[in-house]
Amino acid sequence: MSQFIEQFRRSFVIAKKNIKIYYLKGPVIIFGLIFPLFLALAYVIGRNIPLREMLPGLIGMATFFTATSVGPSIVPWENRSKTLERLLCCPVALWSIIFGDMLSSFIFGLIICIILLTLALTLSIELLGFIILLFSLVIANFCFAALGVLLSAYPPTDVPATSMMLSTLVKFPLVFISGVFIPVEQLPLWGAAIASISPLTYFTDIARQCLLNKGFYPLALDLMMIAIFTATFTLTAIKLHEKTITRRLS
């Protein structure tokens, strides 16, 4: 148990290192801030819709892109600079390194989303709704951070652009099937079935329930599905990195 706690503490040290090094990298700024900003502007401009109606989609989109922007780039950069080899030579488990990468992605997404959450406070959201939204925001950020790190596992490359491109190819379609632009209840049956495979769908549904008192799924189901996706992405990311680490270092 003490060894597990020590490895967990080292994850925070790795996350602190990642924050200092990678937050201001070009791909992180572009895919984590500039890209979702322009996508949000394209969503908002020219639409005669109250801000409250658009805010759930904006929060979902911002959370998804920011929390997944750091993870795909860390391992390739570490591999290229040979710092990954030095980390593995230290008394730190691979899962601890991966969890540290997730934490740094999680913190980046949470910081950005708190700004949007502050905007939600100005809309006179109920206290219970705000607490639920804040709680789900924390879980969703870690879920998306785990997805971002998972997407960096394959292919095992030392080129950050390759990892970011693969990540974008996965993330971009998910945004359009997850009720961000069109609520799930307005989708045809086949569209709602496709939306159910995306974790972003359930977080956006929570945001709609907390801000608009509208939703497609029961709130408990939304929270449970995000938790399931989080555990699945985390475990899969660790397993895939364990399988590809030797190819990455060769």
Tell me how far CA of residue 171 lies from CA of 52, 63, 91, in angstroms: 25, 12, 34
Residue 123 has pLDDT above 80, yes or no: no
Domain extent for 144: 2-249
Q: What is the pLDDT of residue 157?
A: 66
Per-residue pLDDT at 230 exceeds 90: yes
Q: Which helix (H) or strand (E) holds 239?
A: helix 219-249
HEC per residue, 88-145: HHCCCCHHHHHHHHHHHHHHHHHHHHHHHHHHHHCCCCCHHHHHHHHHHHHHHHHHHH
**pTM for this one?**
0.88
Higher pLDDT, 69 or 235: 235
- pLDDT tens digits for range 29-61: 877 778 777 877 777 776 777 777 778 888 888
Provide the angle, in degrees to the nearest 10, between the axes of the packed helices 51-67 and 35-44.
160
**Residue 11: Cβ within 10 Å count:** 21
Read off the pLDDT of residues 164-211 as tens digits, 9 standing for 90 and up: 777 778 888 888 888 888 888 888 888 888 888 899 999 999 988 888
Q: What is the mean pLDDT of the chain?
A: 82
pLDDT at 226 (0 to 100): 94
- For the chain, what is the domain count? 1
Query: Taking a C-beta distance cutoff of 8 angstroms, is the pair 248, 164 a contact?
Result: no
pLDDT at 124: 65
